[in-house]
Each structure stands twice: as C-alpha cells, then as structure tokens.
Structure 1
Amino acid sequence: MALPAVSLTLTPELRSKLEGWLSEDLGRGDLTAPALKGCSGHARWTAKAAGVFCGGVFVEPLLHALDPKARVQLLVSEGASVSVGQDLLELEGQASALAAVERTALNLAMRLSGVATATAGLVDQLRGSSVRLADTRKTTPGLRVLEKYAVRCGRGVNHRCGLDDAAMLKENHLAWAGGMAAAVAAVRTSAPWPAQVIVEAETADQAAEAIRAGANGVLLDEFSPAQLQDLVPRLRLLAEQRAEGPVVLEASGVDPAQLHAYAATGIDLISTSAPVTRSSWLDISMRFEPTKPA
C-alpha cells in the first residue's frame, strides 16, 4: 500500500536558510570553479545504505541559486524506503554549480534521511496498534522545521513545533503557579480558545489531578509499561466522569526498545527525541559523469 505523500512548503524564510547554508560553504567563492568554466555536467545520487530518503526537495532550490537553468529529477519520493545502490536523483547543469552545491545538499539530505530512517524503525515497532509516535522540541536550532519534516517522512507525527502551539505545564510551572488547578486555570484564561493544555505528570496522583483540572492531555513521564498497564484504565475512567471530555494520554521518557510493550498499555501517543538526537546520517554519494563543453 502506498504511503501518504509528505509535503513541506518552501517558504521565503526556508529558501533564505538554504541559501545561507550554501553561502557558508562557498565563502568568497569556490576556488575550483575556474577549472570547470564553460563545462556542463551530469550527476547522480546513489544510496550507500538502506533507509528512508528525505531531503531531495531541497536540492533544486540550492542548485538554482547558482544555476537557474539546472535540472533536478527525483527518482524516488520523499519518505520512500531505499536500498543499497539505488539511484535517488539526477542533476544536470553547469559543472561548477554541481560541484559547489554537492556538500551542502548531501549533508542536509543525509542528516534528514537519518532522522527519517530512525523514525521509521520505531514506527515499525508500533505496527498493529493505534499508538502514534511523536517527536519533541529537542531539535537542532535552525533545523527544527526540517527535522520535524524528516520525522513525518518516517511516518511519525509532530508534537509541538514551538511554545505557541500548545501549553505544556511541567513541574516548575506547577510549583511557581501555586499548584495544578491554578496553573491550568491561568493558561485557560489567557490562551486562545483552540489551544490545548497538556500537563507533564511524574506520578499517578499528578496525572489524576491534571485530568480533574481539565487538561486536554497528560504526558506520563518515565513510567514503565507495567505501571501504565494499571494506570491508563484508571485515568480513562476518571476522564469519562468529567465535563471536558476525553483526554490524550502520552508516554514519554521511554526506552525505545520497549515500544511494543508501551503500545499494549492503551496509551494514545509515545513521544521521543531519539530519532533526532540518536540517529546516524544515511550515507549517500554523488557521482559525476565526464563534463563536456557547454
């Protein structure tokens, strides 16, 4: 069955970032460019490891910054599984532009493909359940939008992209605000109506208190599967008795090797930073064919 397409809007801000990263590598100009003057070239990306491909959509804007007439043909879709030796995309244009864009484009795609590959590996552990795998705000500064895009390419879902997406009340918030009820009420009073309120609970009592206070979601932090097996049904029953309706129960601080056990507890969501913080780059090579006079 075909996977749903994953898309990302190339906003002016994102295009500016891409050009900035290219400029970082170019500096005052590629000193090898004179050797390639007047030549056109053809290049091909090939996977040197199996995984999930992500980042091909950024190659064309990077290349067009140096050669607006260059051509990029994607041979696989974003989020597609690829095998060793599989061709991923083809490029054609000024040889000097192809050589200059190589490292920036490859670095970006290898990093994002690594995140997508790690995400897919964890999602596979949840197969057969309705539990979704979500990312966190533990992302590389400047790369959040792209790393979260890579998580979607790996069939994960995005948690908050920023502090303005939803209110997540943690231990310090509760202490400074004077307790659970006061913290939730303060956020409810000032936040826009559609905003969700999530409470991070470190104990079963905190989780129950969060539900009574009207939280939309409870993040159960560092609970074992055995603890959740007992706690989740009790929290569901408690949520049924309140006027605010259902609550989303999320497990965090989990051992990635135990995802199947967590999924069996009846939670809705597992959030983890592992795909971003623990993933390796997916090795991709760029091979050039002999150049010819333009």
Structure 2
Amino acid sequence: MGLDFERVAKPLTRFIDEDLGTGDLTAPLLGERTATGSFLAKTAGILSGSQIPDFLYRLLGHHVTYTPLIADGEKLEEGTIIARVEGSMADILAAERLSLNLMQRMSGIATATAQAVATLADPSINLLDTRKTAPGLRVFDKYAVRCGGGINHRFGLYDLAMLKDNHWAAFGDLGTAITQLRRAIGPTKMIEVEVETHAELLAAIAAQADIIMFDNQTPQTVRAWQALVPDTIQTEVSGGITLANLHAYAGSGVTSLSLGYLTNSVTNLDISFNLD
C-alpha cells in the first residue's frame, strides 16, 4: 500500500505554493543549519500519509533524509515514533505544517474507517467512501479510507454512472433512461440507480441496473428490499448511516454500505513533529 508520487506531486506542489508563497521569511535565520527530528503519534489510531513528508522534501529540493518507521495501515499507539528526519533545517521546518495537516487528516480518516469496519463486523459487506471529500484532497482522502480497511467508491462522475433522484425527475422513465445511457457510455461502464420507494426499487430491478442504491432506508426496509433483488444485481445502502446504527445493517445481505461521514466529518488524529 502506498501513494503514487507522480499522482500527488501536482497537488502537493500547489500546497507548497499556497503555504510558502515567495518564501519562508524565517529561512534566512536558519541558513545552512542541519537538524534531526521525529514525527510522533500523540493518540492511538491508524496511520495514513506516512509518505507525505518525504514527498514534500523531494519537491523542496532533496535536502532531507526521511526514514519511516511505521507503514500506512498499521496501528499507532500513543507515543509511537512514526518517522525520523535528518537534513536541512529550513526544508524540515518548511514542510512541517503541510506534513502534519495531511498526515493528521488522513490518519483521522483511516482511524474512523477502521472503527467502522470493526463496528459493522460483517466481512461480507464492503464499506465504501463517497465523493463527499474536501476539494483538492480526494486522492488523499480516498487513499486514507483504503488504509483503514474501506473500499473506494467512484472517484468522480467519469468512472461509474449513477442515476439519482434529480435524474429521475428530469427523465421520468427509468427503463428508457438506462437503455439510452448504456448506448451512450458503452457496455464496460456500470450503471447505478438510486431508489427511495418500493415502486422505484421494482422499476430499477426491471430495468436491470448493475447496482441499486437503497437511499435513506431503515435496516428493516433494507432487509425487505434486499430479498427482492436478484443475485445478478449489486446493492448499496447510503444515507443516515452512523457509527451508532452501523451494526444494525450487518447480515442484511447487501453488497456495500457507503459512509459519507468518513471524509466529510473528519476528526484529525493528533500527530506532532519535534526537532531533537
């Protein structure tokens, strides 16, 4: 498991430009000094983003040696040393805030995902993220979900077609909509249909959608609806699912649950950086 540097170099470069602008005004004070330091977990959780500091040091000029001690996806205890650094003090401190901002957020997402997986306690059901990510951070947020044991839903509007309530309102007849959509996007892209009523569920089954999403339904309704869906159609439950009611969906037979709160209600994991 790991982030692809080529994929994240462009957003990280933007983040550096946002933070450093025309340059760190304290850098002249540091001159050519070198330093050592460490990233430290101040609370327990699941690590994600361990490569971020190293990527930032590369973009700042390769003047820092970064040694990770814990891999992404591994459990952190309070006091765990995540990584050690040695090199240019100016570059170390220039990347400090960016490194922590991303590592804390990503580890918070990974920790929440791992907690959700443990709470559901049903390996037959996939836990998915959503597109409810912070703009510009989707690749980082979704990677963090994988670190916590979750699975990525679509990355954008381009890799899976979803007919939601607004599409229903605009088009009307679901069967015709799916037929025309399949003709337009080809046979390799899947079509998911969001349903909110029993009548919509039956229409989606008749139209042979690839995936049917039960939107904002109780666990009892989900179980009843799932019994009507043939095995050839995947099912997803979305809306109103929290850590408090998550376990109620265990054993329901659905293919997956999607949890928007994993990435839109993030509680950062407390990680610090200290110079020796």
Normalising by structure 2, we get a TM-score of 0.96
Whether 1:8 and 2:3 are equivalent positions in the alignment is yes
Which deviations, in whole Å up to 9, do the C-alpha atoms of 1:30-52 show, x marking residues without a partner?
A: 12112211211101000011111
Whether 1:286 and 2:240 are equivalent positions in the alignment is no
Structure 2: gaps of 5 or more residues: none
SS at match of 2:228: helix
Q: Percent identity?
A: 37
SS at match of 1:270: strand
From 26, 30, 33, the equivalent of 1:32 is 26
SS at match of 1:234: coil
Alignment correspondent of 2:246: 259
From 235, 245, 262, the equivalent of 1:249 is 235
SS at match of 1:46: strand
From 124, 131, 135, the equivalent of 2:118 is 124
Alignment correspondent of 2:102: 108
Q: Which runs of 4+ in 1 moved over 6 A?
A: none
Q: Report the Cα distance in structure 2 between the residues aligned to 1:280 and 1:73, rounded to whole angstroms.
A: 26
Q: Report the Cα distance in structure 2 between the residues aligned to 1:43 and 1:273, rounded to whole angstroms.
A: 36
Q: Report the Cα distance in structure 2 between the residues aligned to 1:197 and 1:183, rounded to whole angstroms.
A: 11
Alignment correspondent of 1:3: none
CA displacement at 1:229 relative to structure 2: 2.0
Alignment correspondent of 1:184: 178
Whether 1:207 and 2:201 are equivalent positions in the alignment is yes
The question of whether the paired residues in 1 share the 8 Å contact of 2:121 and 2:250 is answered with no
CA displacement at 1:178 relative to structure 2: 2.9
Which deviations, in whole Å up to 9, do the C-alpha atoms of 1:29-86 show, x marking residues without a partner?
A: 1121122112111010000111111111121120122231421111101111101110
For 2:130, the aligned partner's letter is T
Whether 1:44 and 2:30 are equivalent positions in the alignment is no
CA displacement at 1:221 relative to structure 2: 0.4
Q: Report the Cα distance in structure 2 between the residues aligned to 1:26 and 1:280, rounded to whole angstroms.
A: 26
SS at match of 1:63: helix
SS at match of 2:23: coil
Alignment correspondent of 1:153: 147
Q: Report the Cα distance in structure 2 between the residues aligned to 1:60 and 1:152, rounded to whole angstroms.
A: 20
CA displacement at 1:255 relative to structure 2: 2.6
Structure 1: gaps of 5 or more residues: 1-5, 241-245, 290-294
Alignment correspondent of 1:136: 130
From 45, 51, 57, the equivalent of 1:57 is 51
The question of whether the paired residues in 2 share the 8 Å contact of 1:220 and 1:252 is answered with yes
Q: Report the Cα distance in structure 2 between the residues aligned to 1:260 and 1:111, rounded to whole angstroms.
A: 25
Q: Report the Cα distance in structure 1 between the residues aligned to 2:246 and 2:269, rounded to whole angstroms.
A: 23
Q: Which moved more, 1:143-152 or 1:225-234?
A: 225-234
For 1:288, the aligned partner's letter is L
Q: Report the Cα distance in structure 2 between the residues aligned to 1:67 and 1:9, rounded to whole angstroms.
A: 18
CA displacement at 1:192 relative to structure 2: 2.6
Alignment correspondent of 2:166: 172
For 1:175, the aligned partner's letter is A
CA displacement at 1:121 relative to structure 2: 0.8
Q: Which moved more, 1:252-261 or 1:82-91?
A: 252-261
CA displacement at 1:207 relative to structure 2: 1.3
Q: Report the Cα distance in structure 2 between the residues aligned to 1:101 and 1:264, rounded to whole angstroms.
A: 46
